[in-house]
């Protein structure tokens, strides 16, 4: 009689993907880029998109991609565990701030210690801190006649734009640079670098 072969356990267990939750407050260009980047990934997926604005374009990108999305208010975020419980229910592994303007509360910081990443549109520590986002950053860069600027991808802690820097990418500022042309340069850097840096950061952890 031939011996009964035991099935290989590894073949019967499908490896769970690392799940990302994206937070955004605006049009969601970074959300779109991240969703697109991980669309066919075998190891990482965007599982949830959240916004503090019901009309945020980021929510539309999620819906178009068939990804769960939800809007929350200040009480949900700062005065309760509602957002944290949603993240836990969805088994989220990493939180990505993709154009999100609110400071992350301590309950979420503690649960996702060293697992929250943000992209900032300057070369930190320059032009960071409260109120420094989007066009405010670009205007300051142009006002101070900087020769270069760029983006910084960093771990989020309890201070604005203060966590450990993971990566930076630079661009030269032309003499005739305008707010519009600089925004395009920064957007291009974010598209080229943010999704790949997220992927590498996860692989290294």
List, in sequence order, every residue forming a beta bridge with 154; answer none if it has no partner: 118, 165
Among 37, 71, 120, 138, the one annotated catalytic: 120
User: Among candidates 31, 76, 37, 36, which has minimal Cα distance to 49?
Assistant: 31
Q: Is 135 assigned a catalytic role?
A: no
Choose among 138, 118, 94, 105: nearest CA to 30: 118
Residue 153 corresponds to which tokens in the numbers above? 């991808």
On the 0-12 / 13-18 / 19+ scale of CB atoms within 10 A, 193 is middle
Whether residue 186 contacts residue 171, with contact meaning beta carbons closer than 8 Å, is answered with yes
Q: Which residues are catalytic?
A: 120
């Amino acid at each position: 009689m031939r011996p009964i072969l035991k099935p290989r356990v590894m073949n019967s267990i499908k490896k769970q993907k690392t799940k990302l939750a994206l937070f955004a407050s605006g049009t969601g260009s970074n959300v779109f880029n991240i969703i697109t980047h991980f669309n066919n990934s075998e190891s990482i997926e965007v599982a949830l998109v959240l916004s503090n604005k019901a009309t945020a374009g980021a929510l539309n990108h999620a819906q178009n991609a068939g990804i769960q999305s939800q809007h929350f208010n200040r009480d949900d975020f700062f005065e309760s565990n509602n957002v944290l419980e949603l993240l836990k229910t969805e088994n989220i592994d990493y939180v990505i701030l993709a154009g999100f303007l609110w400071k992350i509360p301590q309950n979420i910081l503690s649960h996702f210690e060293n697992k929250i990443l943000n992209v900032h549109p300057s070369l930190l520590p320059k032009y960071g801190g409260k109120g420094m986002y989007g066009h405010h950053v670009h205007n300051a860069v142009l006002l101070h006649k900087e020769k270069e600027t760029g983006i910084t991808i960093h771990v989020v802690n309890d201070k604005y734009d203060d966590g450990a820097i993971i990566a930076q990418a630079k661009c030269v500022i032309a003499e005739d640079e305008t707010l519009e042309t600089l925004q395009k340069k920064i957007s291009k850097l974010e598209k080229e670098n943010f999704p790949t840096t997220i992927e590498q950061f996860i692989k290294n952890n």
